[in-house]
Structure 1
């Protein structure tokens, strides 16, 4: 049996409850993993609230790290006793142990802690595809990244710096801006203090940025389009402020033949070999010290409601983990 955080109905943090669930044995292509820590991500909020519907009841959580206890037939890249971490579907990472598909589970180097592994996989793989798989970016390019002091944002700030890419961030308040700057952002704009679009334009001498990486959604979408240089790429990868309203695509032409994509990490990691290669790049970045995983909040699994409340209230910086 394993203590597991589930929901039986969509709603606020109050719908989360801890139950005991049977773990079982792995079948073909599966593993059983015992977790040391689980990551907290905004997609968990979307699933809990019903924005991304789940078949209920359902466990939550998309990433974790721990030790492989058993492997099913056909699993060759993992063995019992391996340290491992993952971002993967289906949800169910908020638990002491689980049986799950093995394809997106990756070996975790000894130099990376379980908490770091749990905090970095979904966020770090997101940053990897934003910088390497979405649109060509090179040293000297400039990108705009919203919520630059969050878990994804702090990884992105460091990733950009490691590759010679200028990252202009936005964040809510001077302390969060300072944090983004400390992690490699070239500039960070407090979006509460004025017209951030004009400030981005001023910082780029009116030229705009090559790409916008926007996990905020509704509140920043229109302004983000106005920050792009002609032929720039708008990457709308999240909805922290709510979903983006329907769009008349003609506006993309009027604003400079812009490009728009709504990617998800799970599309990018769906193929086993691709996922493992992306994870290897991420782990190299972390192992080399180019990217440090900052964990600013830790909650015991039993306090998962409080963790969700803090995340939704934007009281968090860096990454948040649930400890087992």
Structure 2
């Protein structure tokens, strides 16, 4: 019998139960993956607490992982036993073995370690769509990325620099600022010591930014809007500090005819074509060395609760994985 992290009731990290769990055999169109690692993300916290609703209780937590195909179901032609695969958007990743819709899995090239793939299927693809599709970042772009030392932030900083942008970030400690500076950022603002709005204006000689990427939420609103030039884009894609207040859209007019969007990865990889294109771009920049993946923490699957405490306590940098 394999093991998994099962949620029987919503709540704090203590509700994460490490127990026997049989994923079953793959049905039509499915593959059974023997996992090497699963990724840890704030979306897991949202499902654990009930901020995002699962369609059932109990459920196995987790949305991304990587491993080896152990068995294939009827009709599967993309993969065979022994293939190296990774996936995202599939529920149940906190497990030794998981059933995955073959259409939601991608092949992992030999140049990319499975543990790395598990760490980046959500974070790396998020960076991909943010920088290449939500706003097309290029050499003329000046951007601000909050939580620069986080999992998405460290990938985005390197990738944005690779695309030629001027990259400004925020972080909450000298150590995190230093880490971000080592991962592509031109400037990193310690928001506990400095007014990030004033510093952005200073860094940009008053021009401010073309785009602000904000996964922090409550603590950075509405100040993020004050970092944008007229007709700039505010991308709010998370809420690690708490839910945003109700927003009167008139504020976008008042702050300079701004644009705003609340994207999610799953709408950007909804088709097989988009999923494969995103994976190809992501694995390409990793394999080339343009983006180096920082796995800051690794916890055994059985210690998922402690991993959640570290994530929520802002004691993590880069990506965090649960190893099988």
Instruction: Tell me the TM-score range normalised by the shorter chain.
Output: over 0.9
Do 2:137 and 2:160's aligned partners in 1 also have CA atoms closer than 8 Å?
no
Question: 2:14 maps to what in 1?
Answer: 14
5 Å-filtered alignment, 1:22-61, equals 22-54=22-54, 55-61=56-62
User: 1:319 & 1:252 partners in 2: Cα distance?
Assistant: 33
CA shift, 1:254, in A, is 1.4
TM-superposed deviation, 1:75: 2.6
How far apart are 1:136 and its partner, in Å?
A: 3.0
> Counterparts in 2 of 1:146-295, with a 5 A limit?
146-295=146-295
Residue equivalent to 2:74:
73
TM-score, L = length of structure 2: 0.98
Offset of 1:270 from its aligned partner? Answer: 1.3
Give the Cα–Cα distance (whole angstroms) in 1 for the partners of residues 225 and 57 of structure 2: 37
Superposed CA RMSD: 1.0
Q: Structure 1 regions of 5+ residues with no counterpart? A: none
Please say if 1:83 is aligned against 2:76: no
Query: Mean alpha-carbon deviation: is it higher for 23-32 or for 54-63?
Result: 23-32
Q: Which moved more, 1:120-129 or 1:14-23?
A: 14-23
Whole-angstrom CA distance in 2 between matches of 1:31 and 1:208: 48
Q: Distance in 2 between matches of 1:78 and 1:256?
A: 50
**1:202 Cα deviation after fit:** 1.0
TM-score with structure 1 setting the length = 0.98
- Residues of 2 paired with 1:285 and 1:4: CA distance? 32
Is the 2:235–2:260 Cα contact (8 Å) retained in structure 1?
A: yes
Q: 2: CA distance between counterparts of 1:80 and 1:126?
A: 29
Q: Once the two structures are superposed, what CA deviation does each residue of 1:61-114 show, in whole Å capped at 9, x if it has no partner?
A: 11111001122233332221110111123x210000011212121101112111
Q: Show CA shifts across 1:137-161 (max 9, x none).
A: 2212111000000111000110011
**Retained in 2: the 8 A contact 1:295–1:319?**
yes
Counterpart contact for 1:104–1:276, Cα < 8 Å: no
The whole-number CA distance in structure 1 between the counterparts of 2:112 and 2:19 is 30
**Where does the alignment leave 5 or more consecutive residues of structure 2 unmatched?**
none
Query: Match of 2:194, SS?
Result: coil
Per the TM alignment, residue 127 of structure 1 is displaced from its structure 2 partner at its CA by: 0.3
Q: Contact 1:68–1:80 at 8 Å: present in 2 too?
A: yes
Equivalents in 2 of 1:157, 1:308: separation in Å? 24
Counterpart position of 1:117: 117
Q: Which residue is equivalent to 2:64?
A: 63
Q: Does the CA contact (< 8 Å) of 2:68 and 2:82 recur in 1?
A: yes
